Structure 1
Amino acid sequence: MLRLISTFVVLAAALGSSQAAPTGAPLPGQYVRGDDSGTLTIRRDEQNKLVFEIDSIGGHCHECKVTGVIRGTIGYADRLIGDEDDSKCEISFSSNPSSVVVKPIAEDECREYCGFRAYFDGTYRRPSATCSRSGRQALRDRFLLLYRAHRYPLATSTLQTLIGECREFMGSIELDQVRNDLALSQYHNGDFSRCLETLDATSAGEERDEEELMSVLQPCDADNYIDVAKATWFNRALCKKAMSKLR
């Protein structure tokens, strides 16, 4: 039985960055950091204040969560729950229409908002229509319809478009789910060598088995990825078997 990775909605994606250096106060909207490693939401609250929320994730499932208000190009983090003192975490926000560069000014104070292996600084980009949550979901839904209708060439090109345009802002789990679906479409299209090339590009493609995978990933990260890894190894064996029959 073939293992087709089911469609999941994962927040990520963005427009290509502008060549100009980001300057000025940030515009309201939702922005995504590379590899789906963080999101930045900027909006106006009921008092018309410009407020922000940052959620990011690092190794071993460590996270950052920072909220606060933006005045000009400086963000002032809300104090942590249970902390009687006002927050000293100040953050620089500089932007152009498609991206926001985030950098803590008071790094020691801002570290309190993050786990040991997480950080929130970096460039966050506004998603394009194709790479937004709904846009990526639409492409994956289209792929499933084409796959189930045995229209494998079109199914293949649909996922190639998704990876080609949105790869930079897809997390490793989502990206390798899509690669597995692409590989199976290539398999059914008789393109066994491309199937193997696609699976070799996954994180699991670099490891032979679960033991090797556990040796290179933190336990929490391995637990989150293991189902995708098992599907990758299963599908790779499928394509290798098909290749061997051609010799």
Structure 2
Amino acid sequence: MKIKHFLPFALPLALLLGTGMASAQASTPPAGEYIYQGGSGALRVKADGRFDITTIGANAHTCALDGSIVRGKAKIADSGCIVSFAVNADKVEVATNGAEQCRDNCGMRATFEGTYTRPAPACTDKAVANSRKSFKRQYDARDYSIALATLSPLLSECDKTLDWITKGWMRNDIALTQFKLNDRAACLKTLQPLSEDAARTDDGIRENYPPADADIFLPVVRATRTNLKLCRG
């Protein structure tokens, strides 16, 4: 069975250095919430250095850990796992010392190492939820142009912090609104990233995705098939 991977693992140090992370400083991140790459988790830091991390990987496998950061490092209780935090502007690079005990915090297909980004104000979970509620009110009132202006910018502005399922639903909402505005070309362009999966059968989706991922993705795929038919005419 061919499995797609949704959570990239931590980049090798050489690549990080080559992409501007060389300036990252090992230190306690400023208090706040940082979103894991692909919107698949979060790092929350308190003013006193206490932190917790939760992430989700393929097939709904998860990671969960917490502790206290001191000078950019945290030793996980009752283990040899040491987690390091390198701050660079609005990003925090999380890595470990490679101890086997670090895996004790995760399911087989999940990891917590990688890049966490402080979301833009419009891209926090609460802000996105509010924008989607506003969009629905506007759409239901047939204020399609206003609804499109409310939701469409989030796809680009929040690309790095939205999870893949939310992106899929948002693409369908935007595409259907574009259809209502008689812009079929824009509708098809919005759905293009989902078109390959939409062309698969339900069984094809299950063959290409882990079981739990297929279950949550299939409703998005089915909506995409319907909306592609509308926009193709």
TM-score bracket for this pair, using the shorter chain length: 0.7 to 0.9
Q: Secondary structure at the match of 1:169?
A: coil
For the 8 Å contact 2:198–2:225, the answer to whether it is kept is: no
**Structure 1 segment 8-27 matched on structure 2, within 5 A:** 21-25=23-27, 26-27=29-30
1:206 Cα deviation after fit: 4.9
Residue deviations 1:147-186, cap 9 Å, x none? 1222222222322211110012111110000001001101
> Using the alignment, how far apart are the partners of 1:203 and 1:98 within structure 2?
33
Would you say the 8 A contact 1:180–1:235 is kept in 2?
A: yes
Identity %: 33
1:142 pairs, out of 134, 142, 163, with 134
5+ residue gaps, structure 2, are: 1-19
Is the contact made by 2:117 and 2:161 (CA closer than 8 Å) also made in structure 1? no
The answer for the alignment partner of 1:35 in structure 2 is 38
- The one-letter amino acid paired with 1:40 is L
**Which residue identity lines up with residue 102 of structure 1 in the other structure?**
V
Give aligned pairs, total: 214
Q: Secondary structure at the match of 2:66?
A: strand
SS at the partner of 2:25? coil
> Are 2:174 and 1:182 aligned?
yes
- Give how far 1:22 is off: 2.0
Contact 2:59 / 2:212 at 8 angstroms: preserved in 1?
yes
Deviation of residue 189 (structure 1)?
Answer: 0.6
CA 1:101 to 1:19, structure 2 compared with 1: closer, same or farther past 3 Å? closer
Equivalent in 75, 84, 93 of residue 85 of structure 2: 93
**Unaligned stretches of 5+ residues in structure 1:** 1-17, 79-85, 243-247
1:27-176 equivalences in 2 (<5 Å): 27-44=30-47, 48=48, 50-78=49-77, 86-176=78-168
Cα distance in 2 between the residues matched to 1:107 and 1:96: 25
Distance 1:109 1:203, change over 3 A: farther
SS at match of 1:64: strand
Structure with max Cα Rg: 1
Give the whole-Å Cα distance in 1 for the aligned partners of 2:63 and 2:139.
Answer: 38
Distance in 1, Cα, partners of 2:51 & 2:114: 15
Root-mean-square deviation over aligned CA pairs: 2.1
Cα deviation code 1:184-232 (max 9, x no counterpart): 1011111112212222222764533212211111111001111111111
TM-score computed with the length of structure 2 as normaliser: 0.84
TM-score, normalization by structure 1:
0.80
**Alpha-carbon separation, structure 2, partners of 1:133 and 1:57:** 16
Q: Which amino acid aligns with 1:186?
A: Q
2:189 corresponds, among 189, 197, 201, to 197
C-alpha separation in 2, matches of 1:90 and 1:117: 20
- Deviation, structure 1 residue 124: 0.6
Letter paired with 1:27: P
Alpha carbons 2:26, 2:84 under 8 Å: kept = no
Residue 232 (structure 1) aligns with? 224
CA distance in 2, matches of 1:29, 1:182: 30
Cα distance in 1 between the residues matched to 2:155 and 2:35 = 16
Task: Encode CA deviations 1:51-104: one digit per residue, 9 max, x unaligned.
Answer: 1111111111111111112111111113xxxxxxx2111011111452211001
How many Å separate the matches in 2 of 1:87 and 1:157? 50
In structure 2, relative to structure 1, the CA distance for the partners of 1:20 and 1:138 (3 Å cut) is farther
Residue identity in the other structure for 2:24: P
